[in-house]
Amino acid sequence: MKEVCKRLSLLVLAAVLVLFTACSSGSDSTNDGGSGESGKGGVSGTLEIQYFVGGYGDAWWKEVISDFKKKYPDVTIKEDAGPNINEEMRTRWISGNPPDVVYIDGAGSSETQMVEDKQLMDITDWVKTVQVDGKPLMDTFIVSPSDYDGKMYSLPLVFDTWGTWYNKALFKEKGYKVPTDFNSWMSSMKEIKKKEGVTPFVTTGKYPYYFLRGVLYPAFGAAGGDKLLSDVISGKKGAWSSKPVVGVMQKVKDMQEAGLIDPGFAALNHTQSQMNFILGKNAYIPVGFWLPNEMAKDAPKDFDYGFIPSPMNDPGKPMVVVPDLRPLAIAKEAKNPEAAKAFVSFVFQKKYAAKFAELTGAMMNMKDVDLSNNDKVPGYLKDANTMINDPKKVAIHNKPYPMSADLEKPISDALVSLMLGKIDVNEFTKRAEAAAEKYRNSN
């Protein structure tokens, strides 16, 4: 596998974050892969769709599926959905009896792992033929699909980015300064710990990839750009013990030794850590843009979400955003591949991108979807845009593809041990290098 994802420019990201719209062409001009353009002919039978239901909810899925049924009345949809759907469907994937379409998101899912296990259809040639809203589908993406040695196995549906959240209302009331680099973040956390009497930083130890993706990836991007991100994600020899990585991990150790990481984090799942955060038991948490939507029913009325790229950068250097994508794919063993292709091409329309922003507070991975006049776009998204599009404050770096679960799991285990103070940076890098070597030897 090789790095082929192009660096996302600030200009392009601006087109997404601010130039979103509730309007669309209203066009339903989708090329469904060669059969079934009429909606009543060619595409029929049962179509089974698996999708994870987490912070984005399921309202968007319900609306898109309902519209698809109207266009293709001869198709019967079977939905496999829920917060634990990845685990529930695992046996079927292993046994070669998967659903037709899968949205790859949530705990227990890994795009790269599924590609390595040969579970996903090679859509390289097919996707080049798909037209959506009057233009080639490939021309509509903000970030291109993951590239595995020149092959495509999924399409990036959701554009997200991890970062660090705080309560703007609390900061305004107490006069706390929003950090812009690691030094000011450490100072902020120490001040909050002293004045508020809380451990300022929390994350989920049950799912350590929240910290890995939300804090370490931006830190690696700040320390070594796209190349370092690629090296650590691919498990390149020596990457995890390199000077830039050691420097980043020392910052994590500094947080731990200063008592700034919630000592109970290892026992918390993502919702428990998020609940503690919104209830004021902690001041900072690394999560993606789904956080406000996921906690909408629980957040206090006076809570005001603030978002910044995780400030792991050195003073004088910009903070870093690393786009995080949630893909849609077709199973290699799909029983109804034609209906699957029709559905996958159907969802990539501007009107559904606009609807996704309204219903989830996050973004689909599509260009030129203007939501600037839509009052349903949350304020934190607009605030994030202002910051992200200031090149003096924020740089954007891309990872080549998601880290394989075979590497992410042992790295995450070592990370938890480091954050609990059970091991030092040297031991962490030894464990990480051993995990990377094992991963390389297995591929």
Question: Where do we find the tokens 């950090």?
Answer: 179
Q: For the segment 294-311, what is each residue's pLDDT rounded down to a tens digit?
A: 899 999 999 999 999 999
- The predicted model scores a pTM of 0.74
With a CB cutoff of 8 Å and minimum separation 6, the contacts of 65 are 49, 77, 79
Q: For the segment 51-82, what is each residue's pLDDT rounded down to a tens digit?
A: 999 989 999 999 999 999 999 999 999 999 99
Report if residue 9 sits inside a domain.
no
163, 214 contact by CB (below 8 A): yes
Asked if residue 415 and residue 279 are part of one domain, the reply reads yes
Instruction: Bin 101: left if φ > 0, else alpha if -120 < ψ < 50, else beta.
Output: beta
Which pLDDT band holds residue 40 (cuts at 50, 70, 90)? very low
- Tell how strand 75-82 and strand 101-103 pair up: unpaired
Total domain count, the chain: 2
Query: Residue 246 maps to which CATH number?
Result: 3.40.190.10
Q: For the segment 247-283, what is each residue's pLDDT rounded down to a tens digit?
A: 999 999 999 999 999 999 999 999 999 999 999 999 9
Instruction: Return d(Cα 263, Cα 265) in angstroms, integer.
Output: 6
Domain that holds residue 230: 163-321+404-441
With a CB cutoff of 8 Å and minimum separation 6, the contacts of 46 are 75, 76, 77, 78, 335, 336, 339
Asked if residue 262 and residue 152 are part of one domain, the reply reads no
Report if residue 338 sits inside a domain.
yes
Asked if residue 132 and residue 55 are part of one domain, the reply reads yes
Report if residue 227 sits inside a domain.
yes
Instruction: Return d(Cα 64, Cα 101) in angstroms, integer.
Output: 14
Asked if residue 425 and residue 328 are part of one domain, the reply reads no
Report if residue 395 sits inside a domain.
no
Report if residue 3 sits inside a domain.
no
Asked if residue 337 and residue 245 are part of one domain, the reply reads no
Instruction: Return d(Cα 217, Cα 381) in angstroms, integer.
Output: 21
Asked if residue 422 and residue 306 are part of one domain, the reply reads yes
Asked if residue 430 and residue 329 are part of one domain, the reply reads no
Q: CA triplet 294, 296, 302: central angle to 5 degrees? A: 135
Which pLDDT band holds residue 26 (cuts at 50, 70, 90)? very low
Asked if residue 366 and residue 247 are part of one domain, the reply reads no
Least reliable range by pLDDT among 328-342, 344-358, 410-424 = 344-358
With a CB cutoff of 8 Å and minimum separation 6, the contacts of 105 are 51, 52, 54, 158, 326
Report if residue 132 sits inside a domain.
yes
Instruction: Return d(Cα 377, Cα 374) in angstroms, integer.
Output: 6
Asked if residue 360 and residue 315 are part of one domain, the reply reads no
Asked if residue 148 and residue 177 are part of one domain, the reply reads no
